[in-house]
Structure 1
Amino acid sequence: MRLHVVYRSHGGENTKGRPDWYSKRVGLESFCRAVEQVRDERPDAGTEVVFLNDGPVPADRLDLMARWGDPVTIDGGSNRRSYLTALGLPRRRGWDGRDVLLLAEDDYLWRPEALVALVDAARDPRHARADYFAPYGEEVPDTGLPVRWERLESTTSTFAARVHALREDERLLWLCALSGGNFDYASCLTLQGRRRFTLRELVEHHEPADGTPAWKSALRRAYLTGMRTAVDVRSLRRPSRRRVLLGAEPALATHMEDGWIAPGPWEEIAATPAP
């Protein structure tokens, strides 16, 4: 089993609330330390890293990426488009179905041991039925004990999957991504055979900004109703195709966004020098 990582990055910022120690450079440095550790401690995993950059990124970050992996620039134009591009890489690059792919976003902070723990979890016979792994899992206290992997309802777009499962699920993940709103939540529920949208959510949608022509609003409502109905139908998976999602306890990474920071020594990790 090899580990492939696609680290999705964008040069810009958004308006989300961030902790004082946040920066995309800090997140990238923490990720590179995790790559360094997994290559040192699990060299047989042959860890491959692709930095998928949606548009230009600052030169200092690009230089660091080039030291630890393969920077690739695309013109996706949105988080959803770069995500869909990443989903197709296992198929386009012909990765072995027994391998594991980690999709990582650029506003996360990583523990140094994160990728080692992921490789060990994917190889553990006790987790043979698990198809998806979430380094950013439940908000459990950080007790300092070894990481545990437990069933999880949902995670973000930073997750790992066995390549054979991801290939089989690629069209379903596309469908979820096009259903509007928090598509990562829709993806996790649907993959596990759980219905995402209520009847009300199928027909009631947030209206676009004032000034949108009525015919465009009607088309948008019809599109979302159709896509969300399709997602709900696809959640009716036969038991053998319902995926198992495991989450790390405590979290091996945290989203660097106010209100969504997992328990852990993140300020200390953020202050660690670059590898």
Structure 2
Amino acid sequence: MSTISKKRIQRWQYNNYGVLHKKLHYSPNSKKRIYEEFFDKNGNIYCTKMFEDNEKNSLIYIQTYRHGRPHLTFKTEKQLFQHYFENKFNENDVVFCDARLLDKPLLNQQNKTKNILVFHSSHLNDNKTINQSYKMALENPQKVTQYLLLTEKQKSDILNVTNIDPDKISIIPHFIMPHQSTDNVEQLDRFVFIGRIAEEKQINHILYAYHNFLKSGFTTKLSIYGRDEFGQQRKLEQLIEELELQDNIDINGFTNNPLM
């Protein structure tokens, strides 16, 4: 914090070993980040990022360093990612990608890698059209070795709107390790959601379905466990109030032991 204005001007981030790895610098006026520095384990800067000091706060450029001197400059993060992939991977390397931000730099890099794209969320918008972030992955199947999905329903949806070979799509559902049950565990009559409280998880769909469930005369409670992301919990709380479900739903934070 500035000793003069009492406003935030820097934020230092440390890794799990207590080593400083990143500094964020903020504008004293707009309070937006304007500069980021990244440090290696020896305290040397290896990368900086500059941002516009306005409401949009767009990235201006990324500068990398080698031996303490400026090395390469990139206009976008995707350019940096693609450069990294082209220097990191070799021909026929098997690469798993579960972040749609990385699809374009991965699929456009020059090495002929075996790209396996993992989908954790729905590829559809609320209006049932393909989400913009999934278009690169679904419109370039010739660059993809295999798609890994969670459900047969999503596979069916994709085949309905693309010409992807069905043999290129595999289904591996979520799973949990077997747990030894005991007579000492209290059996509760409730539904449980466990996951990130994020927009792409579509928890609002659960609330609407649960609302209809209660209207049918059932009384089973609903418990939600997860870490809030970007204020989504407040939006859920507002929807719960609109649907008058306050007495039937409890929202809990992140837990390492959901069986308790």
Task: Please indicate the TM-score interval, normalised by the length of the shorter structure.
Answer: under 0.3
Structure 1-normalised TM-score? Answer: 0.21
Q: Which has the higher helix share?
A: 1
Which structure has the larger Rg? 2
Q: Whose relative contact order is higher, 1 or 2, with alpha carbons under 8 Å and at least 6 apart?
A: 1
Structure 2-normalised TM-score? Answer: 0.22
